[in-house]
Amino acid sequence: MKADKIGRIAIRGVSNLVNFTVLTVIILLLAFAGYALWDSNQIYEAADKSQYAVYKPTIENKGKSFKELQAINPEVFAWLSVYGTNIDYPLTQGKDNSKYVNTNAEGKYSLAGALFLDYKNSRDFSDFNNILYGHHMEKKMMFGDIGNFAEKNMFDTHWYGNLYFDEKDHGIEFFAFIHTDAYDKKIFASGVKEKEIRQELLDYLLENAMYKRDVEITTEDRIVLLSTCSSSSTNGRDILIGKISDEPYDDPFMKNKKEADIKEQLHVDSKSSFYNKMPVWLLILLILFILIILIILILVIDRIRYKKKQSKLNRSKGSKDGIYENDV
């Protein structure tokens, strides 16, 4: 009898240990998934153009807020807008092409990085070919919209952009979209000087363009290449190419943009919730608290089930003892 009791206790202990282990693993996986979602959300929050909207140079403030951003990070020197897209960000330039891969426009560490000009190019965009880089992110963040130009309708309906530098707006007229790879040395040779090489590059771009339109371009013009990673191929690059002009172009999407800006501001205000502002240490404490509560709950439920089972066994035992006494 004593051996049976010890056996039942041992089995119950092993069962509880297995249940506890399985429960702990499940909760830890859920906690990790929750943290991953939170962390991903923080990355997209940091990449949202609304984070920089206050710094955007406009006619009203004449670049006052933009200068405030430059005071925070002197390597900010320009602003890029592609009309009809979510691309509306400050431009940076580091001493190499690696700094702003994981550094934002305010000079802080960020996986979203910042849009940046090739370190070999001049900040006044006086070079023939000027290359801008940015991450291809989901939710149309950073250069996430560039890949959409692979759709003909997108390319056909989005012609213009704006480039602010040297305290003045300049126009961009997009004339080609190219899909290539990261090892295309001809395209990624920034700031070519010789006239012959300029012509070769221009011919190469037009010959290899997925889409292009008739825009008068000579080797004396200035072009800008917006380059980002492509999801369609390994080491692929999507590049939107435009001609820089001294005079800006009107934004044909302005009416829709104003409505979108109002909706976006409401969206930003709604996102300023406790969840989005929650520091990581507080999130970890919350997860641990939930984990402890769930473990206690499981132990309480298991204890109640055990008592019910013991009560049932005792009633069953009493019933058998009664039968034996009657038989005697």
Report d(CA 168, CA 165) in Å as an integer.
6
**Cα torsion through 40, 45, 48, 54, rounded to 10:** -170
Token pair 């290449």 is found at 225
Angle at the Cα of 23 from the Cα atoms of 21 and 27, rounded to 5 degrees:
120
What is the pLDDT at residue 46? Answer: 56
288-291: long-range pairs with CB below 8 Å, 24+: 290/27, 290/31, 291/24, 291/27, 291/28, 291/31
Rounded alpha-carbon distances, angstroms, from residue 40 to 28, 35, 50, 53, 140: 18, 8, 17, 21, 14
Report d(CA 299, CA 294) in Å as an integer.
9
What is the pLDDT at residue 234? Answer: 87
The whole-model pTM stands at 0.70
Summarize pLDDT for 226-251 with one digit per residue, the tens: 999 998 888 999 999 999 999 999 99
What is the pLDDT at residue 75? Answer: 98
Report d(CA 250, CA 320) in Å as an integer.
94
What is the pLDDT at residue 198? Answer: 96
Ranges of H-type helices in 2-137: 2-47, 64-72
Rounded alpha-carbon distances, angstroms, from residue 84 to 121, 196, 257: 27, 35, 8
What is the pLDDT at residue 138? Answer: 83
Q: Which domains does the chain carry?
A: 2-44+279-327 (no CATH), 55-261 (2.40.260.10)
CA 181 to chain centre: 22
- Per-residue pLDDT 10s for the chain (328 aa) are 556 666 666 666 666 666 667 666 666 665 555 544 544 555 555 556 777 888 998 866 656 689 999 999 999 999 999 999 999 999 999 999 999 999 999 999 999 999 999 999 999 999 999 999 999 998 889 999 999 999 999 999 999 999 999 999 999 999 999 999 999 999 999 999 999 999 999 999 999 999 999 999 999 999 999 999 998 888 999 999 999 999 999 999 986 655 555 455 444 444 444 445 556 666 667 777 777 887 787 777 777 877 776 777 676 666 555 544 444 3
Summarize pLDDT for 112-163 with one digit per residue, the tens: 999 999 999 999 999 999 999 999 998 889 999 999 999 999 999 999 999 9
Report d(CA 115, CA 147) in Å as an integer.
16
What is the pLDDT at residue 32? Answer: 55
CA 306 to chain centre: 50
